Structure 1
């Protein structure tokens, strides 16, 4: 029985990885914080371990006595009040975990790190848009993207690591795209900017598929983009949500980018004043402003055997059904 450690196990993606590891018959260890919800980690076969990513020595103490075959590092933050927290958690936490595993001499077969397409920023933005390639030079335009890029760079080339760079991940349990569904249910739909925007998505279960393919087939030092293989317009996601909600009446508002800049500036300011992170923040503005989210997933298909099972229509249908069943909508 293979022994796997999954960090960020209580999170959106991490909880699905835990479920798949159990289905595959692995001895599954879920790394959580003392304050983490275990709502989606109720299977009695799950082993829990608390990890302190702020200290290499503390990590070594907590990991001592374990011998993991696989580690999937899904822990991280996507929104922070203070941008330095992105680097403290995403970059420094990754570096310290890798260092602790190395110093303990863990017999790892594979370490999979969940990074992001956001490390590349707004590139290939001249129409017609081209696919972002692994060989392109990253120019991250968000604190989140910068922190993930620096996290990647902190992993030694000799470490048995495979990096996955998903585009926008959605699915059951996800809370950011859920806000769009909630808004549409409330009869308001928003679009950002007037210039064409090419967007890509990947369903959470396809990300999980890629994780386990990377454990088996990934090449050390390789990084793979993940999407469903299709390109969408900015309104396609909301149109499908609208359809699954039974087509309630709605008003669609297309906001110019200059207005979004003002809204997100004050959203960020309000967050700092209240201590509550706003969904409309400076990083979000850069994401809305970016026009090209195309990416080349052929290496994942050819080297990992990755085959996306969910296009946007199927994924949204399953997601909205879950939101309804869970009482979110």
Structure 2
């Protein structure tokens, strides 16, 4: 089933995942408005065919006005402060943007009387540290400020679904990989640094993560928007496979054509760290017919071409 989406508001559309979602929406012929304050996103990531609003989510009057003028039938809410160390260092700003800002988007969507569907991004960081693949029945137990704000977003989404007729989709994002990343996560950090040296200082190397191609992440978002009959559904968006830092460095060494040496640095070690975050994405696949199309090598190759060759 493909839902008719005509007028779409995409928050965070100047960011990593958002800009890839924007490409897909425009390819469908949607009239797209991107809302982003460019604190982390980049203006050049916003497609020329999209209308752009530079605005902070915490600007409640501005957000409400954007909805009144836009007449949106669909909202894709991806804007947030994502980088876990930054959130831990600036919990006030993370809460203001991720929680207060999200409430402004949800309230404006409900008040608009035009929004029919809304997707909001959550994260694997809402989960506790678990061995093996994690499905959506595992209770939320965030271990950091970012996960806490996203757990709050899920509660906000549930309230929106109860109080409105909007069909709400919640996607728990695992670790996206590819081009246009705007935060210094593991892969872009390594790729930026191998421009200067193949010896990379690193902190924790044993934790395993489910790395999903950003293009597959974007198709997962649209699959939920298309297929969710409401009032609310929550799905993991991941591959079901997990790799540690040593394995990722080995893949990147092959792609780069020269060995990357990891040098342990105690100052970079996170004191609180999950050892495993691996998605069970059966729900997304069975309910919405979605499957990842890109291997880990595809994803890392896309990232490498973006950061090293451009």
TM-score normalized by the length of structure 1:
0.81
- Residue of structure 2 in register with 1:149 after alignment: 151
* Stretch moving more, 5-14 or 34-43: 34-43
In 1, Cα distance between the equivalents of 2:204 and 2:52?
45
1:192 CA displacement = 4.8
Q: Which of 282, 285, 295 is equivalent to 1:298?
A: 282
- Residue of structure 1 in register with 2:122 after alignment: 115
* Stretch moving more, 53-62 or 196-205: 53-62
Task: Say whether 1:178 aligns with 2:188.
Answer: yes
Q: Which of 27, 31, 45 is equivalent to 2:31?
A: 27
SS in 1 for 2:276: coil
Q: Which of 39, 43, 46 is equivalent to 1:41?
A: 46
In 2, Cα distance between the equivalents of 1:324 and 1:191?
19
1:104 CA displacement = 2.4
- Residue of structure 1 in register with 2:93 after alignment: 85
1:95 CA displacement = 1.0
In 2, Cα distance between the equivalents of 1:47 and 1:210?
23
- Residue of structure 1 in register with 2:17 after alignment: 13
- Residue of structure 2 in register with 1:98 after alignment: 106
1:93 CA displacement = 0.7
- Residue of structure 2 in register with 1:323 after alignment: 307
In 1, Cα distance between the equivalents of 2:297 and 2:274?
23
TM-score normalized by the length of structure 2:
0.86
- Give the RMSD, CA atoms, in angstroms: 2.2
In 2, Cα distance between the equivalents of 1:74 and 1:12?
10
* Count of residue pairs the alignment pairs up: 291
- Residue of structure 1 in register with 2:250 after alignment: 239
The answer on whether the counterparts of 1:54 and 1:93 sit within 8 Å (CA) in structure 2 is: yes
In 2, Cα distance between the equivalents of 1:49 and 1:74?
15
> For 1:200-258, what per-residue CA distance to the aligned partner results, in whole angstroms no more than 9, with x for missing partners?
1111000100111111112431111111232223322111111111114x433346xxx
- Residue of structure 2 in register with 1:68 after alignment: 72
1:62 CA displacement = 2.6
> For 1:173-202, what per-residue CA distance to the aligned partner results, in whole angstroms no more than 9, with x for missing partners?
1142211123345122456557x5432111
**Residue ranges of structure 2 left out of the alignment (5+ in a row):** none
Q: Which of 184, 195, 211 is equivalent to 1:201?
A: 211
In 2, Cα distance between the equivalents of 1:190 and 1:302?
41
1:165 CA displacement = 0.7
In 2, Cα distance between the equivalents of 1:115 and 1:62?
23
Q: 1:110 to 1:192 in 2, by over 3 A?
A: same
1:34 CA displacement = 7.2
Task: Say whether 1:187 aligns with 2:198.
Answer: yes
* Stretch moving more, 168-177 or 199-208: 168-177
Q: 1:42 to 1:154 in 2, by over 3 A?
A: closer
1:49 CA displacement = 2.7
The answer on whether the counterparts of 2:192 and 2:307 sit within 8 Å (CA) in structure 1 is: no
SS in 1 for 2:277: coil
> For 1:83-131, what per-residue CA distance to the aligned partner results, in whole angstroms no more than 9, with x for missing partners?
12111111111111101111222x2231000111001132x2xxxx232
The answer on whether the counterparts of 2:36 and 2:56 sit within 8 Å (CA) in structure 1 is: no
In 1, Cα distance between the equivalents of 2:228 and 2:214?
19
- Residue of structure 1 in register with 2:142 after alignment: 140
The answer on whether the counterparts of 1:29 and 1:47 sit within 8 Å (CA) in structure 2 is: yes
